[in-house]
A and B are shown apart, each in its own frame.
Chain A
Amino acid sequence: MPGLISEPLGYAFMQRALLEIVIVGTVCGLVGCFVVLRGLAFIGDALAHTVFPGVVLSYIAGRSIMIGAFAFGALTALGIGLLSRSRRVSADSAVGVLFAAFFALGVVLISRQAGFKKDLGSLLFGNVLGVSREDVMATLIIALIVIAILFLLLKEFTLVAFDSTMARSLGYPVFALDLLLLLLVAATIVVSLQTVGNILILALIVTPPATARLLTDRLGRMMALSTLVSIIAGVSGLLVSYHADTAAGGTIVLSATALFLLALVLAPNHGLVSSYLQRRRGYHHVHHYHPIDELAPPGDQ
C-alpha cells in the first residue's frame, strides 16, 4: 500500500511534478476564491485562452512561454477593463470578442509553424510530468508574488468584491484594484499552463473555491479550504494518473470535480443531504435569508 505513493516519488520527474502541482494548487485555490466571489469565471476562461498567442510567439522566439503568456494575459486584462468601462459594448460581449480573437490569432500563428504541432497537445492539455527544475522555480517565484499581493491587499479586494459602492465612497481606486485582480488571475493562469493546459485551467481556478464555499460561510476559511481542496485534488490526481496511466491534467481536474460533488452532497449547511434533513425536520434551507429565530422581532420581514 505505501508503495502506491513512494514508488512514483522515486522518480525525479514525479517529485518535480508534485512540487509544481502543490504550488499551482495553492495559488489557484487562493486567487480562485476572488474569481468565484466576483463571478469572473467567464473572464478567467477568456484569459486562459487569450494567453495562447503569447505562448506561440514565445515558442517561435525561443523564450520561456511564461513571458509571452503573461504579456498577452496583461493585454487581455487591460482590454477587458477598458471595454467594460465603455457602455457601448456589454462586458460579456467585450470579453467574448477578445477571447475568440486572441485564441484565433494563436491558431493562425501556429499554422505557420510546422515544428510546433507535436507540442500543441501539451500546451492545450498541460504536461506536468515534463516540468524542469527551472520551471518549478519560476512557478514558485511568480506564485509567491501573486500570493503576497493578494494578502497585502486582502482588505481592499474583499471590500471591492462585497461592496464596490462603499469602496468608491471611501475613495478607493476601484478600477485599478479590479485591473490588478485581473492581472493576478492572468499570472495564476500563466503559472498553471504547464500543469493542466489552457483548456482545463479554469477547473483548477473555479472548482476548489466553489467546493470550499459549500463548506463554510467565512472568507478566511474559504481561502484555506479552497487551497486544501486544490492541493488534494492535484496530488491525488497526479498519483492516480501515474498508476492508471491517464493524462495528468484531466485526472487532476476530475479529482477536483469529485471533491466538489462530495461537498455538494455532504456539506453541513449547504449540502443536499443536510438540506433534505432540515426540510424533513420542518425547516427551510436555514442558511439563506432566514432570521435568527430568537432575535427576530415578530412581523419583521
Chain B
Amino acid sequence: MLEVEGLSAGYGLTFHLGGISFSVEAGSVVGVIGPNGGGKSTLLKAVAGVIPMRGGAIRLGGRPLQRRDGGLAFVPQREEVNWDFPVTANDVVLMGRYRQAGWIRRLDGADRRRAAEALERLGLAGTGHRHISQFSGGQQQRIFLARAIVQEPRVVLLDEPFTGIDQENREVLHEVIAGFARQGVTVLMATHDLDEVAATTTHVCCLAGRLVAFGPTASAYNPETLRATFGGQLAVFA
C-alpha cells in the first residue's frame, strides 16, 4: 500500500502543492490530472525526492518510503533527457541496476542479461549498442521503460508518458503499465490525456494546487470532479 499523508512540496516561499493525502493498494494505477501549474509534476517529483517535501509523509507498505533500495522508478519526459550524452541504450537500461549493484561495485553478467531481456521484451532486441539519439521518440521512451523494469521497483512514476507517441508505442506502454499492475507495482502517472486516464487507470488524483478529488476511476472520474479540477478550462464538460 502506498500512503501519502499531508504532503506539501515546492520551492521558495510559496507551496506549489499542499495538504495532499491519499492511499492506494499495491498494483493500483493512479492517474494524476489537473490544469498546468496544478501540481502534477510537483507531486511526482516530491515522491521521487527531486523536490524537497515541506511537510507530510509518504509510506510504502506501512514504512516510510525508502529510495535507496531502487524501489522507486522514474520515467522522465522526453524533453528532460540529455540526448547528446554519450550513452547507449544498454547503458541507460543498466542504470536501473545501479542500486542493486551497490556503491563502487561494477555490474555483472546477470545485470547485463536482465537489461538485454528488458530491451527484447519492449521490441528493441539487438539495438542495445546504439547511441540513444539514434532511436525514434517512441523507442526512446521504451528504453526508459526498460530501465524502470530492470529496477524491479515497487512504485513507478510516469511523467506525461502519452505525449507525442504513436499508436504502436501507445500499445507497448499499455502493456508495460498492465504488467506492473499485475506484479503489484503501484504506478503514479501524471498526464493530460484524459482518454488514457479512463482507459488505463484504477484511480484518479485530481490536483489544482490542492487535492480536489481522489478515488477509483469508475466513480471519481466524472464531469463534476473534472469541472472542479479544471475550472472553466475544459470545454468538453462545460
Spell out A's residues near B (CB within 8 Å): 37, 87, 152-153, 155-156, 158-159, 161-163, 165-166, 168-171, 213, 216-219, 222, 287-292, 295-297, 299-301
* Interface: B225 (CB within 8 A): no
Cβ-defined contact, A165 with B80, below 8 A: yes
Within 8 A of A (CB), among B43-80: 45, 48-50, 66-68, 70, 72-74, 76, 80
A156 to B104, CA, bound (A): 8
Q: List 22 A-B contacts (CB under 8 A).
A: A87-B12, A153-B104, A162-B87, A163-B76, A165-B48, A165-B76, A166-B95, A169-B72, A213-B86, A218-B87, A219-B87, A222-B86, A288-B84, A289-B83, A290-B134, A291-B134, A295-B124, A296-B139, A297-B138, A300-B165, A301-B137, A301-B165
- Which residues of A have CB within 8 Å of B182? none
**Known interface pairs A218-B86, A219-B91; A291-B103 also in contact (CB < 8 Å):** no
Cβ-defined contact, A37 with B104, below 8 A: no
**Known interface pairs A155-B101, A301-B164; A161-B138 also in contact (CB < 8 Å):** no
Cβ-defined contact, A295 with B127, below 8 A: yes
* Interface: B135 (CB within 8 A): yes
Cβ-defined contact, B134 with A300, below 8 A: no
Partner of A37, one of B49, B85, B98, B130: B85
Cβ-defined contact, B137 with A168, below 8 A: no
Cβ-defined contact, B86 with A297, below 8 A: no
A100 to B103, CA, bound (A): 37
- Which residues of B have CB within 8 Å of A155? 98, 101, 106-107
Min CB distance B134 to A, Å, is 6
Cβ-defined contact, A171 with B67, below 8 A: yes
* Chain B at the A interface: SS class: loop
Cβ-defined contact, B76 with A152, below 8 A: no
Listed from nearest, the 8 A-B pairs whose CB atoms lie closest are: A171-B67, A291-B136, A171-B68, A169-B48, A217-B131, A169-B74, A296-B136, A301-B137
Interface size on B, residues (CB 8 A): 50
- Which residues of B have CB within 8 Å of A163? 76, 81-82, 95
Q: Which residue of A lies closest to B168 (CB)?
A: A297
Q: Assuming A169-B50, A169-B74, A218-B88, what are 19 further A-B pairs, CB within 8 angstroms? A: A87-B11, A87-B12, A152-B104, A153-B103, A153-B104, A159-B95, A162-B92, A168-B50, A169-B157, A216-B86, A217-B86, A217-B133, A287-B134, A288-B83, A291-B134, A292-B136, A295-B124, A300-B169, A301-B166
Partner of B49, one of A156, A159, A168, A300: A168
Partner of A295, one of B49, B98, B106, B136: B136
- Which residues of A have CB within 8 Å of B88? 217-218
**Known interface pairs A161-B85, A295-B139, A300-B138; A170-B68 also in contact (CB < 8 Å):** yes
- Which residues of A have CB within 8 Å of B131? 217-218, 287
Min CB distance A142 to B, Å, is 21
Min CB distance A264 to B, Å, is 16
Min CB distance B50 to A, Å, is 5
A290 to B135, CA, bound (A): 6
Cβ-defined contact, A168 with B86, below 8 A: no
